[in-house]
Amino acid sequence: MSRAIELRDVSKKYGDSYAVRQVSFTVEPGEFLVLLGPSGCGKSTVLRMIAGLEDITEGELFLGGEHANSLLPRERDMSMVFQNFALYPTMTSRENIGFPLSLRDPAADHDPAVEATARMLAIEDLLERLPGQLSGGERQRVAMGRAISRRPSVFLLDEPLASLDARLRHHLRTEISRISAELDATTLYVTHDQSEAMSLGDRVAVLRDGVLQQLSPPQDLYARPANVFVAAFVGTPRINLLDGVVHAPLDGPMALHLGRQRLLLPQPLSVDHQLLRIQQGRRIIVGLRPEDIRIAPPGRARPREAALTGTVEHVEYQGHEALVHVNTGSRPAVVPDLEASRPRAEGRLTSGPRKRRFGRVKDRAAAALSPHAPLLSAAPAPHPAPAPADSPHERRTTVTADLVLRSTPQERVRAGAQVPLLVDLERLYVFDHTGSRICPAPDGMPALDH
Ligand SMILES: Nc1ncnc2c1ncn2[C@@H]1O[C@H](COP(=O)(O)OP(=O)(O)OP(=O)(O)O)[C@@H](O)[C@H]1O
């Protein structure tokens, strides 16, 4: 029978520094919850505290409603699989899988249970082999077999697929999802891979620097990210994030200024856009998903689209789609922690000024990686120089693209071309100077009076 896991204000300190700070959440019985975040954000520490492998410094843990802070690991009825799960090298797969059962009851015949587990993992043919005779993926399956053979009520997985190649990872991901449902176990799965998290989790908890940022179903995480960090961590290619300023004149249309260009907010203003008025004159971050921008002239604009123009820096063909990297002369916002963990595709980087500018961005990101790093960098970079479309030399030496958009592979655009862009402002994201989402309005915000 599956059990709930509840953390109440749980913190972990190593020496003087916090690895996890006041994390609270509940995993419902039978739920599949993924802990997602960049390297070092505290995911494994949370898992290890639940397993009883680390003491909890502050806060409380409940398992199936019972206070569990001081339970020994073996009293918790959990199984854990690590990235490099060690099998006993002198035992066959059958013996490895049956080992936890023999520990519990040495006299019983465990073959039926071992074979049922092997069928679940499609490794019946490997039962008589030693670990040295298995591939990495096969070993990981046997390791999972060992973890699930005694049908735990809680299943903890710490990056179990990280050392496998992409195809195998994808295949085993589907199997883990199926097995977890079949076992009816409460599953907690740690990963830094957002696509793994989005495809596996009933809900996903995003951690940054030991602090829980958001816990939501994958669809909500993508559509309603609580802050700029979550918005940027979830989704490939990454959301475009641009530094901007709100201009809300009393006698004219409202606009978001983005360096050389501006996005005119469509009239009549939506409720979400009206709420931006109070940000007049303030620095904000504009978020545009690559699928919400298209190459088309202003005359083809749909009702809630706004026009920009840009210079194509390069085109990445992906087979089913093309990613077009465009320079609009705006300034990309820097989100600390992300620059190191998910480097975005760069355009050609061929000469000095651009390399130096990239170096400055890296330095700022590194400086911001302190334990109390703000969501946004405090020292914005100078505006990049405009990219003239007619000078090949200038093109080689100017800035990286500031927008990436998704297009069809049939799109015939080439580097250096000036292109008209239409942006779907119905799907506009805006974050305030602290990084919190202010458009769409935060959940639970009272509606405006008319
Ligand atoms: N035994 C330890 N002693 C001191 N610091 C530790 C210890 N274990 C972890 N930490 C620190 O705690 C923080 C969180 O580590 P943790 O392993 O939980 O991160 P993570 O998100 O799982 O990272 P990764 O994805 O790289 O495994 C890190 O800064 C790490 O250096």
Ranges of each domain in the chain: 5-229, 236-439
What separation in Å is there between the alpha carbon of 43 and the centre of ligand 1? Answer: 8
Average pLDDT (187-214) is: 95
The set of protein residues with a Cβ atom below 6 angstroms from ligand 1 is: 14, 19, 37, 39-45, 192
Q: pLDDT tens-digit profile of 117-137? A: 898 888 999 999 999 999 888
What separation in Å is there between the alpha carbon of 47 and the centre of ligand 1? Answer: 11
Q: pLDDT tens-digit profile of 211-244? A: 999 999 999 999 999 999 999 999 999 999 999 9
**Which residue lies with its CA nearest to atom 22 of ligand 1?**
44
Q: Are 245 and 284 in contact (CB under 8 A)?
A: yes
Q: pLDDT tens-digit profile of 366-405? A: 333 233 334 544 333 333 333 333 333 333 334 478 999 9
Residue 227 DSSP class: B
Q: Are 337 and 369 in contact (CB under 8 A)?
A: yes
Domain 5-229 CATH superfamily? P-loop containing nucleotide triphosphate hydrolases (3.40.50.300)
CB neighbours of residue 338 within 10 Å: 19
User: Sorting pLDDT into bands at 50, 70 and 90, what band is 349?
Assistant: very low
Residue 52: left if φ>0, alpha if ψ -120 to 50, beta else—which one? left
Question: Which residue out of 11, 13, 18, 43 has the highest number of ligand 1 atoms within 8 Å of its CB and is therefore the one to mutate?
Answer: 43
User: Sorting pLDDT into bands at 50, 70 and 90, what band is 446?
Assistant: low
What separation in Å is there between the alpha carbon of 207 and the centre of ligand 1? Answer: 13
Residue 343 reports pLDDT greater than 50: no
**What is the residue type of 176?**
I
pTM assigned to the model: 0.82
What separation in Å is there between the alpha carbon of 307 and the centre of ligand 1? Answer: 45
- Ligand 1, residue 12: give the atom nearest the CA: 12
What separation in Å is there between the alpha carbon of 147 and the centre of ligand 1? Answer: 23
- Using CA atoms, how far residue 332 sits from 287, 343, 379, 389, in Å, is 10, 13, 13, 20
Burial degree of 246 (CB within 10 A; 0-12, 13-18, 19+): buried
CA distance 179 to 200: 12
Average pLDDT (420-434) is: 95
**Which residue lies with its CA nearest to atom 12 of ligand 1?**
19
Question: Which residue out of 45, 47, 190, 211 has the highest number of ligand 1 atoms within 8 Å of its CB and is therefore the one to mutate?
Answer: 45
